[in-house]
Structure 1
Amino acid sequence: MASTVTLLIAPLPADAPADDVDATFHEVDASEPALRVGELSTQRGDGIFETLAVVDGHAQEAQAHLVRLRNSAAICELPEPNLEQWHAAIRRATSALPSTGEFALKLVLSRGVEHGPAPTAWLHASPAADFTVPREQGIRVVTLDRGLAHDAAARAPWLLLGAKTLSYAPNMAALREAKRRGADDTIFVSSDGFVMEGPTSSVILRIDGVYSTPAPSGAILHGTTQQSLFEHLEHAGERTEYRDIPVAELALADAVWLVSSVRLAAGVTALDGASVTFDEATTRRFNDYLLSPRD
């Protein structure tokens, strides 16, 4: 079995029948050139993406990721993706991977070559990094001002804040700044004092037994892993809520987590240099669930 899989995809219209969908995939060697020089995803970050985990041969939350891909396409005025085609591509890639282990599967839809006739799309699957330490021992986090009010998306929709775009340079810069400050990750806060999200994760905190996450809005990417975990908590009889969370509540929380599709749940052990209670047992339960097959 291959440890990496790369498929170039000829995007079908959203309403096209997917009878011979395999004919729209072209597997390429990931070490070989595959994109053209004029590709706008590399020149301008003009595209969208999703990253989902493959755990022991199972693509986790594929439908939720594809629905979010479709939502990002609508926000960015890209052609609506054909979800059946993307499901087939995910199945094709997953079947080519080993049946054990963790992999990261990235889906990309770009506007294509400038003045070109069609968008560009591809899928790439590769082994996931080893996240044993952050899952079991937690992470140190700093808060960084995102430079936007928490309602910025409503006032400036052209910022595309609710879409998962390829323009990730500020997010990566925030992670580098966290490293410079002796931390592992970042929680973005709004300029008017509210918790937002991590550069590649959603924020969950627990206060008095209630699990809270920032209210979904155009300024916050609604996390697929966070939604799945909340459904699991609710099924277990726990209380969850979406609301605007003032930054000061981070220091008052019983526990804080950053959750994402591939790293899964990482408990926060320090916030801006101050110790935070790390709930090892709950974090372990979170990850046991998140590593189980999830559709």
Structure 2
Amino acid sequence: MSVPIVFLLDVLPADTVVDDADLAATITPAGDGSGVLSVFDLGPARGDGIFETIGVVGRHPQSVEAHLDRLTESAAILDLPAPNHAQWRLAIARAVAELPDVDQSAVRLVVTRGSGGRPTAWVSATPADGFPERENGIEVVLLDRGLPSDVQQRSPWLLAGAKTLSYAVNMAALREAHRRGADDVLFVSSDGFVLEGPTSTVVVRIDGTFVTPPPSSGILPGTTQLALWAHLEEQGLAHEYRMLTPEDVLDAEAAWLLSSVRLAAPVHAVDGRALAVDAGLTTQINDALLSRTD
């Protein structure tokens, strides 16, 4: 059995600046993983923590700064210490250096509230499987999230917009999709707007314009969606944020679910109703996303 790739971080304050040797000393390999996490840690005990998953192509972790920015935003929402970006960048680089020579991998960043008032943090890395969904597409079902689209403004304690460790609801939604014979989910707000998937951002093309719901609708800002927006900007293609209804998705010229490792998966059906799929455009999008080296 191979030793897992895990590095523990002795968390530094966000504004701390140290020399390279001292920075490296704050990051230690976890070895075989024995005794790493206390049973009293509030991460596993209560889901009280945050995480990010970064796609790695070859030896290139993608959209690192966007992920660190989102980790910082999640930390602020949960009243966790702001991450030291230099420390996390070094930990990511060390984890990536340990990966086998494979096409794609994933790096996960985790911060919990820890125990005794001190956060626990680590970086792990693992090779990623192939993703036939990029070509074969996915079928999704619409599920009611049970919350209004203005939940972020109305009820900030519900932590909308943060990437928390509390993923039981998201996993339950995916199981429900599988029970219905589908692959994935699109959450719909109680006031009738399409939001996001349990682990993805929705993007549709309407009249030639790429559209995604605004982060203000209580969704997680998508790092892969931001990378797609940058590509569309370079290509001179129209893109915007606006509220979407289920009818908008059903009538769209094309629709995708975007995530950091799977990238763009075209949606070919919603609740059993077929959607148009633009295979050529999907290939172009994934080629652009795979080509990132930042």
TM-score range, shorter chain: over 0.9
Identity of aligned residues (%): 54
* Aligned partner letter, 1:63: E
- Count of paired positions: 291
> Aligned partners of 1:22 and 1:50: how far apart in 2?
21
Give CA-to-partner distance per residue, 1:95-131, whole Å, 9 cap, x none: 2223442111000011001xx1410000110111221
Q: What TM-score do the two structures reach when normalised by structure 1?
A: 0.96
Q: Is the aligned partner of 1:96 residue 2:98? A: yes
Q: What TM-score do the two structures reach when normalised by structure 2?
A: 0.96
Shift of 1:32: 3.2
Aligned equivalent of 1:171: 170
What does 1:171-190 correspond to in 2, within 5 Å? 171-190=170-189
Q: Is the aligned partner of 1:16 residue 2:16? A: yes
Classify 1:3/1:257 alpha carbon distance in 2 versus 1 (closer, same or farther; 3 Å). farther
Shift of 1:71: 0.6
Aligned equivalent of 2:6: 6
Q: Which moved more, 1:276-285 or 1:21-30?
A: 21-30
> Aligned partners of 2:211 and 2:102: how far apart in 1?
33
Aligned equivalent of 2:288: 289
Aligned equivalent of 2:119: 119
Q: Are the equivalent residues in 2 in contact too, given 1:49–1:106 (CA < 8 A)?
A: yes
Shift of 1:64: 0.5
> Aligned partners of 1:100 and 1:4: how far apart in 2?
16
What does 1:196-235 correspond to in 2, within 5 Å? 196-217=195-216, 219-235=218-234
Give CA-to-partner distance per residue, 1:248-291, whole Å, 9 cap, x none: 11111011000000000000011100111111111111111111
Classify 1:126/1:30 alpha carbon distance in 2 versus 1 (closer, same or farther; 3 Å). farther
Aligned to 1:241, the other structure's residue is in SS state strand
Q: Are the equivalent residues in 1 in contact too, given 2:149–2:217 (CA < 8 A)?
A: no
Aligned to 1:248, the other structure's residue is in SS state helix
Shift of 1:93: 1.0
Q: Are the equivalent residues in 1 in contact too, given 2:27–2:91 (CA < 8 A)?
A: yes
What does 1:18-167 correspond to in 2, within 5 Å? 18-19=18-19, 20-30=22-32, 32-113=34-115, 116-131=116-131, 133-167=132-166
Classify 1:30/1:134 alpha carbon distance in 2 versus 1 (closer, same or farther; 3 Å). farther
Classify 1:218/1:251 alpha carbon distance in 2 versus 1 (closer, same or farther; 3 Å). closer
Q: Are the equivalent residues in 1 in contact too, given 2:145–2:189 (CA < 8 A)?
A: yes
Q: Are the equivalent residues in 2 in contact too, given 1:3–1:98 (CA < 8 A)?
A: no
Q: Are the equivalent residues in 1 in contact too, given 2:254–2:277 (CA < 8 A)?
A: yes
Q: CA RMSD in A?
A: 1.3
What does 1:236-247 correspond to in 2, within 5 Å? 236-247=235-246
Shift of 1:31: 5.1
* Aligned partner letter, 1:43: A
